[in-house]
Amino acid sequence: MKKIVFWSIVAAAVIAIYFFLRAVFSGSLILDPYAISIGFLRIKWYGIIIGSSVIVAYLLARNQLLKEGVKEDEFLLAMVFVIPFAVLGGRLYYVAFTWNTFFSKHLNLIFDTRTGGMAIHGALFAIFLAAWLFIIMMRRIKGRCSFGYLQAMDAFTMVAPFAQAMGRWGNFFNYEAHGGPTTLPWKMYVPPQYRMPQYANFKYFYPTFLFESIADLFVFYILYTYTKKRRMKYGQTFSLYLILYSVFRFFNEAFRTDSLWFYNLRIAQVVSVILIVIGAVLFAYVSKKGKDVEIKEEVVES
């Protein structure tokens, strides 16, 4: 009976989501980016979705972390330490590659994330750096840390694609991160106020946010399964994430209209190629000389 109820709910949810997306993609339903807008209290769906993705990612990683002997309070502290770096890194990365706009017109808005403008690669690099700094800090203050750097990166990248898949739906509510004009059946209507000037006369665009969300879920399934069943060395999941996510991002970026550019190169594609190379080299190295994964205790879910 419980299974019937569960799958009935899932089926109903899928049907509801289908008709919701159909209405939005056709333009018969226009989204409001604000979930709450009462006086000075204005909260966007984007913020709610991003916040929820962090919580979901942690819950997905928790059991694996405990099995590896990681102290939960230390990892939670690490998250609190790292998240501000992620926000700052995502913003500054975006500003760095749109500097002419900010310098000439909006210098006072550099740290105002409410105006939009975040880059996932900047957030990722900031997380990679902040995690390293946190471990060093813990070892100097307490003399130890219950997890190593590559172990922490494995835990993060095992679930990061799921959080990224959720985060792309924040782009959906903001009508951003879409591709160029198209007449294909899966085209998405974008209201005039959200269109780039050069595409003002077009109505329908590639839903690249959806493409990447689906790809992220696929990467999550691979990495989550690999970590649980096949990972032998710390750093292998991290390496595969750098490769798999970057491959999908490279191809999806070609469809987007809001890419960051360096001369005639899309920055995200250049970075993706570099990360694929780094991931391949790192995977080969840790597979041969890396530290073995240690499962220190079995955790029984209550």
Percent of the chain with pLDDT over 70: 93
Number of Cβ within a 10 Å radius of residue 30: 10
pLDDT in tens, 195-219: 988 999 999 999 999 999 999 999 9
Range from 21-25, 105-109, 275-279 carrying the lowest mean pLDDT: 105-109
pLDDT band for position 95 (cuts 50, 70, 90): confident
Please state, in angstroms and as integers, the Cα–Cα distance from residue 125 to each residue in 81, 203, 212, 228, following that order. 15, 35, 19, 25
pLDDT at residue number 302 = 41
Does the model's pTM come out above 0.75? yes
Confidence of residue 297 (pLDDT cuts 50, 70, 90): low
CB 47 within 8 Å of CB 88? no
pLDDT at 114 over 80: no
pLDDT-derived band at 157 (thresholds 50, 70, 90) equals: very high
Quote the pLDDT of residue 55.
94
Q: Higher confidence at residue 268 or residue 6?
A: 268
Identify the three-state secondary structure at position 189: strand
pLDDT band at 113 (very low <50, low <70, confident <90, very high): low
Q: pLDDT tens for residues 131-153?
A: 999 999 999 999 999 999 999 99
Q: Please enumerate in sequence order all residues whose Cβ is within 8 A of that of 41, keeping only pairs 6 or more positions apart, or say none.
A: none
Q: Which amino acid is at 168?
A: R
Residue 210: alpha-carbon gap to chain centroid: 13
DSSP conformational letter for 31: P
CA distances from 127 to 50, 88, 162, 179, 214 (A): 15, 10, 16, 27, 23
Q: What are phi and psi of 66, to 5 degrees?
A: -65, -35
pLDDT band for position 19 (50/70/90)?
Answer: very high
